[in-house]
Amino acid sequence: MAITRPDRFLLAGVMGDPVMHSRSPKLHNYWLAKYGLAGAYVPLAITAGYLRAALRALPALGFSGCNLTIPHKEAALGLVDKVDPLARRIGAVNCVVVAADGSLEGQNHDAFGYIESVREAQPSWRADRGPIIVIGAGGGARAVLVSLIDGGAREIRLVNRTPARAKSLARELGGPIIALNWNEREAALGGAAMLINATNQGMVGEPALDLALDSLPVTALVSDIIYIPRETALLAAARKRGNPTVNGLGMLLHQARPAFHAWFGIMPEVTPELRATIEATT
């Protein structure tokens, strides 16, 4: 945990390129105000070539740490002094914590954020309830897959446009992952208890996910890690046919909680007021 002092203006931020679209500043500044802490969380537009210098400047500038977003999550693994085991498994860092001695620890809270968001929306949800379909094999998918494995999932059907990438990821993470070809994606929905889109398909500016839901049981939970828009075409189609749905906003909100705790010593809450505040910006 970062060390905070009462005589210091607390600082944290998010490094990315681009970064001005991030909702993290509004989120963390809400908590700083709510808990009466003097400080600020700022967007830091850092290009890939300056990431090392930017991270190494954090202790001297008085930062407690920072979040990392695209394109820095994987590169940071080799730039911090210590990587926690979960971040190492996921293969990405989304949170850097400055220790009292100025050293940097890389963490990843995306897996925590994902599971907490699903449990918040569906309190009775269990990972071992039945087969889970995960679409995508990128960074977001890695965090989701680790969270499902650790949550006790018994069967995960992983589908990606590039089958070799899905197979490689299945071998690397192990557990109950079965890699399937892209042309098997719709047949894979049969008997599923949950469907997760862990790609950027459906995000603002991207085409919708190419997936017909005809074979998906109407009892299956449909989840999308995208939060802009709050309801993707996938979630809209699922809702219309009667499936329960979970959007990606909860993952954003909940992954921020352990980061705030690591920097400032308080584990914040996700409240209806906070959710409404962030929803008003998406």
- Say if residues 249 and 224 touch (Cβ distance below 8 Å): no
User: How is residue 76 written in tokens?
Assistant: 């940071």
CA distances from 263 to 77, 108, 146, 259 (A): 19, 14, 24, 6
User: How is residue 270 written in tokens?
Assistant: 């996700």
* Residues 156, 176: Cα–Cα separation, whole Å: 6
* Residues 64, 260: Cα–Cα separation, whole Å: 10
Q: What is the dihedral of CA 91, 94, 98, 104, to 10 degrees?
A: 20
Considering 26, 73, 82, 240, which one is annotated as catalytic?
73
Q: What is the dihedral of CA 58, 62, 64, 66, to 10 degrees?
A: -40
Query: Which residues, in sequence order, are CB contacts of 55 under 8 Å at separation 6+?
Result: 15, 66, 76, 79, 80, 96, 104
User: How is residue 172 written in tokens?
Assistant: 């690397």
- Say if residues 189 and 163 touch (Cβ distance below 8 Å): no
Q: Could you confirm whether 240 is annotated as catalytic?
A: no
Query: Residue 203 CA to chain centroid, in angstroms?
Result: 15
Name the 3-class secondary structure at 68. Answer: strand
Catalytic residue numbers? Answer: 73
